[in-house]
């Protein structure tokens, strides 16, 4: 039909008029909350993501037609809503009355809230290519038994010839409308009516995400799949200070080191604190030590590391993050760090409210640290939402 018509017009009917008795969530199923919106809105997002712009028809419970209209206009911004019937079949029939001049109709259960848009496109393509019905299906992985009343096994069904079918189910519009007009029995999917009317329907590859939310367990699974992966960020920072010429005190890792030669700097020259500040600010994407603590700002002249760390922590938390941990390495010949390592870690961890590990190393006599001209520090910070 693609070849003769050029542009294929597609209508998508989203049936959302069921009551959701098995879910029993206190509202008609399509209007039950799911990850911050509703099952119906999730389904409509899938339709919105289709490659082509179909005509969209939502079939809703009569008392929720206005609610559904609001959701449709928010998510897709076009389309129409109609009241459904007592059975799924009656609801589809109500939607079919509005397909207009569509060439292909897709019927989709709102309850299959997580169906990928690509599955809609795949079904459209299959119908357009074959001119016949196409429905998504997946192989059945459980062994299936046919049982009698009371549970006695009658036979094991050969599962290799079974398909668990899903929606959207796609058909040539005229054939589906005619099949509905001449329907002689109640069915649970549209492919059955098409088969009854003598039309071939093929199964195309389905998608596990097109599972139907039927029970509370399914709803939990959908919530779980929609939960955002926990966000984490890392940042790195370094700082270097030369030993001071004059007789200045040494401040390192927010501790004073009596008897050790001090470091030069606008503030107290604490490279451990400054490297951590840069790592934290970088992780949160809120600037760096130069932009946040300008050297012209008198509040920071001669300030100790704790002032910088407290402000960096505040900025990180203000941006919605919490500090997970920090790792710092101090590079230099002096001071001998090991004797006060535990004290330094406890001090900085306390200031940041997160575990901080501080290690120290020398550079085997190489470079400015090896020559004893100054010390450097490298910090890595991990933050999370």
Tell me which residue of 91, 66, 72 sits closest to 15, measured CA to CA.
91
| Subset of 11-30 contacting Mg ion (CB under 5 A) | 18
Contacts of 61 (CB under 8 A, 6+ apart): 16, 17, 19, 28, 83, 84
Nearer residue to ligand CTP within complex by CB, 9 or 212: 212
Q: Is 86 in the site for ligand CTP (CB under 6 A)?
A: yes
Count, residues near ligand CTP per rule CB under 6 A: 23
Q: Pick one of ligand CTP, Mg ion, none as the site partner of residue 358 (Cβ within 5 to 8 A by kind).
A: none
Contacts of 331 (CB under 8 A, 6+ apart): 360, 361, 362, 363, 369, 375, 376, 377, 378
Q: Which stretch binds ligand CTP (CB under 6 A): 105-113, 267-275, 300-308, 375-383?
A: 105-113
- The residue within the footprint of ligand CTP, chosen from 11, 12, 13, 18 (CB under 6 A), is 18
Q: Pick one of Mg ion, ligand CTP, none as the site partner of residue 110 (Cβ within 5 to 8 A by kind).
A: ligand CTP
Q: Is 111 in the site for ligand CTP (CB under 6 A)?
A: yes
- Plot region of 56 (φ>0 → left; ψ -120 to 50 → alpha; else → beta): beta
Nearer residue to Mg ion within complex by CB, 27 or 357: 27
66 labeled binding residue: no
239 labeled binding residue: yes
241 labeled binding residue: yes
Nearest 10 degrees: Cα torsion 69, 75, 80, 85: -60
Q: Is 212 in the site for ligand CTP (CB under 6 A)?
A: yes
First to last CA, the chain: 51
115 labeled binding residue: no
Q: Is 87 in the site for ligand CTP (CB under 6 A)?
A: yes
Asked if 162 and 144 touch (Cβ cutoff 8 Å), the reply is yes
289 labeled binding residue: yes
User: Could you give the C-alpha distances from 289 to 140, 164, 277, 303, in angstroms and in order?
Assistant: 59, 59, 7, 13
Asked if 174 and 5 touch (Cβ cutoff 8 Å), the reply is no
- The residue within the footprint of ligand CTP, chosen from 109, 189, 190, 268 (CB under 6 A), is 109
Q: Which stretch binds ligand CTP (CB under 6 A): 104-112, 143-151, 157-165, 304-312?
A: 104-112
Asked if 205 and 248 touch (Cβ cutoff 8 Å), the reply is no
CB of 145 to ligand CTP, least distance (A): 23
188 labeled binding residue: no
Binding residues, by number, are 239-241, 266-267, 274, 288-290, 361-364, 368, 371
Residue ranges that bind ligand CTP, judged by CB under 6 A: 15-23, 29-30, 59, 84-88, 91, 109-111, 212, 214
């Amino acid at each position: 039909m693609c070849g003769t018509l050029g542009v294929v017009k597609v209508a998508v009917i989203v049936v959302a008029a069921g009551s959701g008795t098995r879910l029993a969530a206190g509202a008609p199923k399509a209007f039950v909350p799911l990850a911050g919106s509703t099952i119906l809105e999730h389904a409509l997002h899938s339709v919105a993501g289709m490659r082509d712009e179909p005509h969209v028809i939502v079939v809703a419970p009569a008392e929720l037609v206005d609610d559904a209209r609001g959701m449709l206009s928010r998510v897709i911004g076009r389309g129409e809503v109609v009241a459904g019937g007592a059975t799924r079949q009656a609801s589809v029939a109500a939607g079919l009355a509005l397909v207009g001049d569509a060439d292909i109709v897709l019927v989709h259960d709102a309850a299959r809230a997580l169906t990928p848009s690509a599955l809609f496109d795949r079904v459209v393509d299959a119908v357009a290519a074959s001119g016949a019905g196409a429905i998504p299906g997946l192989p059945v992985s459980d062994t299936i038994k046919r049982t009698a009343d009371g549970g006695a096994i009658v036979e094991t069904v050969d599962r290799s010839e079974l398909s668990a079918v899903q929606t959207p189910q796609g058909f040539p519009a005229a054939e589906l409308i005619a099949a509905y007009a001449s329907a002689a029995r109640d069915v649970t999917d549209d492919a059955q009516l098409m088969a009854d009317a003598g039309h071939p329907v093929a199964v195309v590859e389905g998608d596990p995400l097109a599972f139907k939310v039927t029970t509370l367990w399914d709803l939990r699974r959908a919530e779980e799949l929609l939960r955002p992966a926990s966000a984490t960020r890392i940042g790195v920072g370094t700082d270097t200070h030369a030993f001071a010429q004059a007789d200045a005190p040494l401040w390192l890792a927010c501790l004073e080191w009596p008897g050790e030669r001090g470091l030069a700097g606008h503030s107290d020259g604490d490279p451990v604190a400054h490297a951590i500040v840069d790592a934290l600010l970088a992780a949160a994407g809120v600037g760096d030590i130069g932009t946040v603590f300008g050297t012209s700002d008198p509040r920071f002249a001669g300030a100790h590391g704790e002032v910088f760390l407290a402000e960096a922590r505040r900025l990180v938390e203000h941006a919605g993050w919490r500090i997970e941990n920090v790792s710092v390495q101090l590079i230099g010949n002096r001071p001998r760090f090991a004797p006060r390592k535990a004290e330094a870690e406890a001090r900085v961890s306390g200031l940041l409210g997160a575990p901080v590990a501080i290690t120290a190393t020398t550079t085997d006599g190489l470079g400015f640290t090896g020559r004893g001209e100054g010390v450097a520090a490298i910090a890595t910070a991990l933050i999370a939402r």
